[in-house]
A and B are shown apart, each in its own frame.
Chain A
């Protein structure tokens, strides 16, 4: 009887916790979307922002957010995945490996504003680039690398040892086994990690304030030459992202429609992260089904 009651109470408590989490999430979404959706229009998404007048859009900020995300991931995913493979498959247990691991953990726990200051020093001043997309992406790489390394390492470690042995026992080299057996098996978990990291990149403001900057030059979307100053693809131009924009209009905005712009931008940010997640998961499951031959 006693244990039965305890069991019931435990079940109840966990249901309550789940409800609280869902309630927080739903109310947050509700608040952001109800306040934001009415401000989103095609016009809002396709006009550049204004510094003084009402009616500015978020065209450049939205593009910058996506572009910074892509550049960051192009740098961070290969590095992080490589680090994860090294830690899981090649690193011999010992002092050096332990040191690397604690470095990664410390890196993961650094506040993003500190990484922003480091970025300012390294990628803005030392390199002499000024505020650039590349600088921002590098700062975000520092910020996300530990997460991706950690996730990849864990994902690779959780691949059953039997699979690895099966492949090695067939006379296949370690690297080919990693490439064709271990990574495909670890792929769904690694993808989840990358998606989570992407969400952080998308929403990050502090690390970008002093690296990618608070402004965007006048962009010409017809100009696809990545070396041209007005091209949106130029990685050596300053770029204000959505998250930074929301912070900027709220703290130093001169425009009369601060409320509308920031709530609209917040809604766009949340929706973009959502769409990005769903899209990445969908593509990921397609790839996974293709390699595992499952329906």
Chain B
């Protein structure tokens, strides 16, 4: 059933579905180029990211996929000499524009990093840190959001008795789910995940994957991963990057079973990368 739905629309439906697609998109990337100083890391890519789905970015190390991901919530601003050209349209605004309020943007487009990076504070404070900054002071409201986001991140049962213990006392997998919970608490629209489970053991990895599939009901998720199985298990669409170019972008099943570019097939079957 699921695969039937994912199949490509018939010719006659194409125009109709194109219109639908426009509305179902959360991000439009147009001719995006990213430079580190003189070096170009992303060579003019264009793609649309679907709402409430999981989009996987795959490709060998240094292919520009993480650079692309980090440009979506302007984390590259922190890197001296990094600059981006082209457009990423979110909510009718170009994210890359100088006038964008980066702080407000990052509330809408949250990010979870490769290495679990909880703050060296209590579990509770990890989640309330950003909420308090956003102006929520009421204890009852904070308690409510903490529980809700930990529930959503499937961590509540494990930590509900130790909310005021240090987050660093959690296991790596729990820390990563806490980082996801902390992002969820801000109620973003888009969640960017940069290899979120590459530092985790297989069991924690499975939990994080289940969580991602669960989360796409409420969020649009873009995930960078080096793990082909992971991309095929959890994503709806997959984009293959190679040396800064977007080689192929299609429905995940198609990419993995019948890619149209030879390079994609070679990469997926492990012939390089």
Contact = CB atoms under 8 A, between A and B. Distances in A.
Given A168-B75, A172-B129, A172-B133, A160 B119 contact: no
B41 interface: no
Contacts of A293: 121-122, 125, 164-167
Interface string B160-175: 0000111111000000
B167 to A, nearest CB: 8
A294 B130 contact: no
Contacts of B168: 292, 294
A172 B117 contact: no
A166 B119 CA distance: 8
A169 B103 CA distance: 8
A93 B104 CA distance: 27
Contacts of A162: 113, 115, 117
Interface stretch (B17-25, B179-187, B215-223): B179-187
A172 B78 contact: no
A165 to B, nearest CB: 6
Contact of B186 (A92, A171, A184, A292): A171
Nearest to A172: B133
B120 interface: yes
Contact of B113 (A166, A180, A294): A166
Contacts of B110: 169-171
B182 A170 contact: yes
Indicate the size class of the contact surface on chain B.
35 or more
Interface in B105-141: 105-108, 110-111, 113, 115, 117-122, 125, 129-130, 133-134
B119 A167 contact: yes
B80 interface: yes
Interface in B79-101: 80
Given A171-B107, A172-B103, A166 B117 contact: yes
A92 B80 CA distance: 9
A185 interface: yes
Given A170-B110, A171-B134, A181 B119 contact: yes
Contacts of B115: 162
A160 B105 CA distance: 23
Contacts of B118: 166
Contacts of B105: 171
A167 B129 contact: yes
Contacts of A294: 120, 166, 168-169
Contacts of B120: 163, 184-185, 292, 294
A173 interface: yes
B66 interface: no
A176 B78 CA distance: 16
Interface string A241-284: 00000000000000000000000000000000000000000000
Contacts of B107: 170-171
17 contacts: A162-B113, A164-B78, A166-B113, A169-B73, A169-B106, A169-B113, A170-B182, A171-B103, A171-B110, A172-B103, A172-B133, A173-B103, A180-B129, A185-B120, A293-B165, A293-B166, A293-B167
Interface of A: 92-93, 160, 162-173, 176, 180-181, 184-185, 291-294
